Amino acid sequence: MSRFIIKSIPFKTRIALDEERPVLACDQTRASKILAGIQPHGPGAFHSKNKDERKKVSDVTIEGIDVTDSAVLYSVPVGLGQPPTAYSLLIDISNANTWIGVSKTYSSTSTTSTKNTPYEIYYANGAVAGTELQNKLTPDLLDFDQITLGGNLVAKKQSLGVASSAIGFSDVDGVLGLGPIDLASVPEIISPVTENLYNAGVIPTISLGMSYLPNAGTLANGDITLGATDTAKFTGSINYVPITVVEPSNKYWGIDADVTYGEDPDLPLLRLSAGVVDVSTTLILIASDAFRVYQRATGAEEDPITGLLTVTPEQFVQMENLFVTIGSETYELTPSAQIWPRTLNEIIGGEKDKIYLVVADMGSPSGEGLDFI
């Protein structure tokens, strides 16, 4: 049996915001879709037998939850073909389709096999809730080629879309779909990268981990690890808990947790509440009633420009820790962990020296099956 060598693949971070896409609105839009149960992509969704039912659109007008919803985007370098040509692809864990063709022309190599299978992918643009902005990708071909990640992870005969038109994507060459096979546009043909690597024995399990470097004055970069946990990226042991049984959180990476502000046991924000762990949500969102308790406890005021809470330097010194209990473990967020990096204030439309909090209003009350993200 071959020994698997862990290699973390570096990714770059880009904040995709403007006046029409403030960070809070992006996250609240995404939360409203999760609350509506749109496009489940958690462990429970992997085993769904009814693809049409999983893709059913509820009362929200935007159809999908995908990489274009996020206020923060992550891109990773990949090599296609042999010899490999370098491309920069967006990481999308809620989609299984990998495609290129935005800014760099695809060139066939000795490992290319063309199937001439047309297909389409529809992306929601992540605009304000209620505004339907769908981006349509219409590839000419569904090719198979070799894809190389991080130098030592090689997926042979990887399904690959080659776009003839792509709307709403910039600064990248396409998308790297790392979601489950059920989320592929043509699941009978498309094999996601993670499943392809696993079936070939390149990785021992279908898993994905992301780690982030502390901010040092620029956009934080990080690493993505496929097929294992990289012990160099954490201390202690990993805490495993069951997926919550509460809908709709159980359709995603949903967990049960308690959230408390400060040492006062009589000041809980959420108790035995269901929520979702979501890498594409930027802020810490909590239900509106819990948010109001947090706002009163911190003395924070809402900033009219960003919509985020702000505190004065004097209030920041007096802030207490935020405790999140998941299973048998309690995780502590110090006051510094509850604020937006001040070096990035202007990117979100804020003032350079203001203190903005990352705990924000989800826009819906507790008790509806999604109390936090």
Neighbour-count burial of 59, counting CB atoms closer than 10 A to its CB (0-12 exposed, 13-18 middle, 19+ buried): exposed
Q: Which residue has 């996020």 as its token pair? A: 70
Given the DSSP bridges, would you call strands 301-302 and 309-311 parallel, antiparallel or unpaired?
A: antiparallel
Q: Tokens representing 28?
A: 């609240």
Catalytic residue among 27, 66, 69, 92: 92
- Dihedral sign for Cα 358, 362, 365, 366, please: negative
Report the C-alpha gap between 116 and 139 in whole angstroms. Answer: 10
Furthest-apart CA atoms within the chain: distance in Å: 66
What are the CA-CA distances from residue 18 to residues 22, 207, 350 (Å)? 6, 33, 12
The DSSP output letter for 44 is: H
Residues 6+ apart with CB under 8 A from 249: 34, 255, 274, 275, 276, 369, 370
Residue 278 appears among annotated catalytic residues: yes
Instruction: Give the integer Cα–Cα distance in Å for 212 and 337.
Output: 14
| CA 54/CA 1 separation, integer angstroms | 38
DSSP string, 329-363: EEEEE-GGGGB--GGGGGGGT--TT-EEBSEEE-S
Q: Any idea what DSSP says for residue 3? A: P
Cβ contacts of 190 within 8 Å, gap of 6 or more? 96, 97, 142, 159, 181, 184
- The residue behind tokens 């502390």 is 214
Residues in contact with 124: Cβ distance below 8 Å, sequence separation at least 6, in sequence order: 33, 62, 63, 64, 65, 66, 68, 69, 133, 134, 135
Residue 92 a catalytic site member? yes
Q: Which position among 66, 69, 143, 278 bears the catalytic label?
A: 278
Catalytic residue IDs = 92, 278
